[in-house]
Chain A
């Protein structure tokens, strides 16, 4: 094995460790929830384990057989884009509504969230398409705006139609990060940013509950007992989970907030608080650092590849993983308003886990095709940054 492949395997290893830890915490977090629903207590953990096996298989398959460079062709681009759009449209038509968001498709007893896969596909499509039409996009505003409309705005709208604001924001930020490093004229980005800003402000003003959520975020202690959707009950329970955990935690399986179901969705939306309760601040910080490590490794891959498409893809997918983690943890510790973002690799959710492992597989594939160290060094000596 060549040294440069270590980056890929390191990402794979970190995500595998996170997933295995996640399996444990899903089990402890969902034990009593499952019992309450009349299911065996291990049923959620079992689902997660099956998804983990599938995800690892998919990642290794992509690593072994898929060459990401083939994506930069009209045929592949069409296929990826249409698949993503079809998935998003299908869920709007056949989807089942669970917890106020219509994001589940149930086929033969298996339920999955197409939006998770679609997000990865859109990021892959966008990075490949930017490489495909790099000159047009960077030089023509009209072309750039058309690309933004089709490559980001329409998928975003479809995801928003499902009622999943958090996912849409993560996708948007990832795509903007890719645009940021393409050497694009920054004036171009100003248009969509301004448009997005106005859109966001309007959204906050028109829907009072969003404003209320921000108020709750600023003073959670005032809304503990308020009934209904304006309550900070869940957030405060998450804080209490951190407090109960202390530095070293109550021990795995001893978390009383999830056991007595004060902390609802301890196995998905409030996974990080659950982890903090059971293994303490030390464990929670370790998880946070592992995500930082994944970011570092992903950015290293993006830094070292000599392929434009590899760079964009590596950056987009790394950010996709890291941003989800950042938003999830931010929600849990009360720095961001509550959205239903799960912690990648750790929270319950087969679709999310498999999609994340697809991203890991692509990152491994990029790492596999990194140029030899000597070439990189030569380039570094010559200019200090990449040129194409």
Chain B
């Protein structure tokens, strides 16, 4: 009974509690309110305690962000350590004209007008000269810049279809000033402005009416090797050439530093009070190229001389070390103009990108193939009739109607089409195709330039007999200058095909070698003996054939000319006024150190000049002469010594290097 009484008492009390008022309607209100509060209370506990993590999970990414610090790009060096491309810190000033109330005052401060500076120096007792000196970084900003910035007022961005106006205008971009001095100048200018105008900078949303940002500008000090090195965009991304390639391989860009911190709703990241950063930014690695800046300069100088003389479409020149595959110089006239990109030539590395029909330069490769197969020797005699019919086409020899007998090496010397067709026919279609492929035609060389072309070499099964005959002297095939250089390297260096390369090593900023690129010997194409024979054969072209213009007194130089008519789409055939003139050669020939290929496309010269021997060979000669002088290579044709009486004497050496058993003398 006692318990029942207590229970009744409790229920009564509770009833009185939830019905505290005498007015039933007020009680109803209060009851409803208590219900509401109970629901709210449950919901609050649910949100904050029972199911809290659910909502945090939903937006967990919004609280943390990463600041990325991009280090400066590494330099590109040539093989001697000369800088070809380097990043330089530059400063760009900006201004917020729409936030400036007293525009004339700020303008006069930036232009360093005497009246304003006098006023301030009198007010603050600072020497006038000191003020002028502090503001000197603004000396490059002209009134015109300021007026155009004031007229523009906003930078307009389009983002997600919306147009956003930002009160921000660039004043002057990319000035080579020091950061400290510019910061001080901006600070002083703003102090003068706020003092004289009486504005409160703390009430402003953008107190930095004037400011600057730092960025890295890519500088090319010597402006050589533009097609190799390439350029970067204003934002520091590699656009062409090795700048692009090395960026893709992360060789030149430094490690991007990522610092994580709290992020705010606008996406800005805060590192917090205890996150003072003492990390040195890791600079991008320097890359050493195989390019020799001096040789590159020589090549560019020579081809630009001839380019201005003959006005061809372009001239390519590739200088290569045959024993390693390293490219020492590669140039393509007309050159890129760094000051005014619209005026100069394109940045395309045409020696690797633009294939063309090479012409007779291919003949030594055919002969080398036949020698390597053991079908003939250099002294094998071929009967070359004046007219030689293959399929439905008649080929003429080089001797103007005479039927002649030629030794194999003489075919190359006189560049006889009929002779080389016969050599090729001995070899057969499949073998020729195999050798062309082995010399690197019809596929990319794998050089480190974007957009390299493989050239055109059709499969041997699709060759007709006439195609086969023309292929022997370099028609029906498209090659690039670089492919030719690589093939000639294999021809003269002992028969090993090296992959052409531009990269020598990756260095850190203290010059330590991080990664070295060794020469890649891809395959053995010819035997040592055949290669030596071929050196002798090529020498004969210069000594007494089509390339006599590049004959030196004290060096054996070898090579092969190639003249090919260009296909003209307008007349649907080969145009006799347009030629590709090529000379591929090596020097010094007894032990080749350099392979040089020069190709001139569509030179605008008189008709009697339209031969590679008149167009490409002089260029080759000039380059070879200067390269030999620069590198001080020991002569291999004549030996100089001082005799007992103290006079300089010379003596012919390597006399038996040239062939002497020729059957013909060319008559014109």
Interface residues of A (CB under 8 A from B): 37-40, 177, 180-181, 221, 224, 227, 236-237, 239-240, 242-247, 256, 259-262, 264, 276, 280-281, 284-285, 288-289, 292, 295-296, 299-300, 302-303, 315, 319, 322, 326, 329-330, 333-335, 380, 384-386
Cβ contact within 8 Å between A315 and B55: no
Q: Does B52 contact A (CB under 8 A)?
A: yes
Q: Which of A227, A262, A335 contacts B62 (CB 8 A)?
A: A262
Residues of B within 8 A of A326 (CB): 33, 36, 40
CB-based nearest A residue for B21:
A303
14 pairs from A and B in contact (CB 8 Å cutoff): A181-B23, A240-B56, A242-B44, A242-B48, A243-B47, A243-B48, A245-B48, A256-B63, A260-B262, A260-B264, A262-B265, A288-B44, A299-B29, A333-B43
> In whole Å, how far is B565's beta carbon from the nearest beta carbon of chain A?
63
Further 19 A-B residue pairs, CB within 8 A, beyond A280-B48, A284-B48, A288-B37: A39-B203, A224-B59, A236-B55, A239-B55, A240-B58, A242-B55, A243-B48, A243-B55, A243-B56, A260-B63, A281-B48, A281-B49, A284-B44, A288-B40, A299-B29, A315-B26, A330-B40, A334-B43, A386-B22
Chain B 184-220, CB within 8 Å of chain A: the 1/0 string?
0000000000000000001111010000000000000
Known: A38-B202, A239-B47, A260-B265. A288 touches B41 (CB 8 A): yes
Q: Which of B23, B49, B51, B202 contacts A303 (CB 8 A)?
A: B23
Cβ contact within 8 Å between A384 and B56: no
Residues of B within 8 A of A276 (CB): 44, 47-48
Known: A281-B49, A329-B40. A302 touches B26 (CB 8 A): yes
**Measured CA separation A385–B204 after assembly (Å):** 63
Q: Which of B25, B33, B58, B204 contacts A292 (CB 8 A)?
A: B33
Cβ contact within 8 Å between A261 and B266: yes
> In whole Å, how far is A204's beta carbon from the nearest beta carbon of chain B?
23
CB-based nearest A residue for B25:
A181
Residues of A within 8 A of B139 (CB): none
Cβ contact within 8 Å between B33 and A295: yes
Q: Does B53 contact A (CB under 8 A)?
A: yes
Cβ contact within 8 Å between B47 and A242: yes
Residues of A within 8 A of B59 (CB): 224, 236-237, 240, 262
Cβ contact within 8 Å between B21 and A37: no
Cβ contact within 8 Å between A261 and B264: yes
CB-based nearest B residue for A246:
B48
CB-based nearest A residue for B263:
A260
CB-based nearest A residue for B51:
A243
Cβ contact within 8 Å between B58 and A224: yes
> In whole Å, how far is B98's beta carbon from the nearest beta carbon of chain A?
15
Residues of B within 8 A of A221 (CB): 58
How many pairs of A and B residues are in contact by the CB < 8 Å rule? Answer: 129
Known: A236-B59, A260-B265, A385-B24. A177 touches B29 (CB 8 A): yes
Residues of B within 8 A of A262 (CB): 59, 62, 264-265
CB-based nearest B residue for A277:
B48
> In whole Å, how far is A344's beta carbon from the nearest beta carbon of chain B?
15
Q: Does B20 contact A (CB under 8 A)?
A: yes
**Measured CA separation A40–B45 after assembly (Å):** 35
**Measured CA separation A247–B50 after assembly (Å):** 10
Interface residues of B (CB under 8 A from A): 20-26, 29-30, 33-34, 36-37, 39-41, 43-45, 47-49, 51-56, 58-59, 62-63, 160, 202-205, 207, 262-266, 270
**Measured CA separation A300–B34 after assembly (Å):** 15
CB-based nearest A residue for B266:
A261
Residues of A within 8 A of B21 (CB): 299-300, 303
Known: A221-B58, A292-B33. A285 touches B41 (CB 8 A): yes
> In whole Å, how far is B263's beta carbon from the nearest beta carbon of chain A?
7
Which of B34, B41, B55, B270 has the most C-beta atoms of chain A within 10 angstroms of its own C-beta? B55
Residues of A within 8 A of B45 (CB): 281, 285
Q: Which of A288, A295, A333 contacts B30 (CB 8 A)?
A: A295
Residues of A within 8 A of B54 (CB): 243
**Measured CA separation A302–B48 after assembly (Å):** 36
> In whole Å, how far is A69's beta carbon from the nearest beta carbon of chain B?
20
**Measured CA separation A384–B22 after assembly (Å):** 6
**Measured CA separation A319–B270 after assembly (Å):** 45
**Measured CA separation A181–B43 after assembly (Å):** 30
**Measured CA separation A281–B30 after assembly (Å):** 23
Known: A240-B56, A245-B48, A333-B47. A299 touches B26 (CB 8 A): yes
Residues of B within 8 A of A245 (CB): 48
> In whole Å, how far is B167's beta carbon from the nearest beta carbon of chain A?
13
Q: Which of B36, B37, B43, B55 contacts A289 (CB 8 A)?
A: B37
**Measured CA separation A276–B52 after assembly (Å):** 12
Cβ contact within 8 Å between B205 and A37: yes
The 10 nearest A-B residue pairs measured at CB? A243-B52, A260-B264, A242-B47, A303-B21, A281-B48, A239-B55, A242-B48, A261-B265, A38-B205, A181-B25
**Measured CA separation A280–B45 after assembly (Å):** 10
Residues of A within 8 A of B205 (CB): 37-38
Residues of B within 8 A of A334 (CB): 43, 47
Residues of B within 8 A of A177 (CB): 29
> In whole Å, how far is B407's beta carbon from the nearest beta carbon of chain A?
82
> In whole Å, how far is A26's beta carbon from the nearest beta carbon of chain B?
19
> In whole Å, how far is A373's beta carbon from the nearest beta carbon of chain B?
13
Q: Which of A40, A224, A280 contacts B202 (CB 8 A)?
A: A40
> In whole Å, how far is A321's beta carbon from the nearest beta carbon of chain B?
12
Residues of B within 8 A of A386 (CB): 22-23
Q: Which of B20, B53, B55 contacts A296 (CB 8 A)?
A: B20
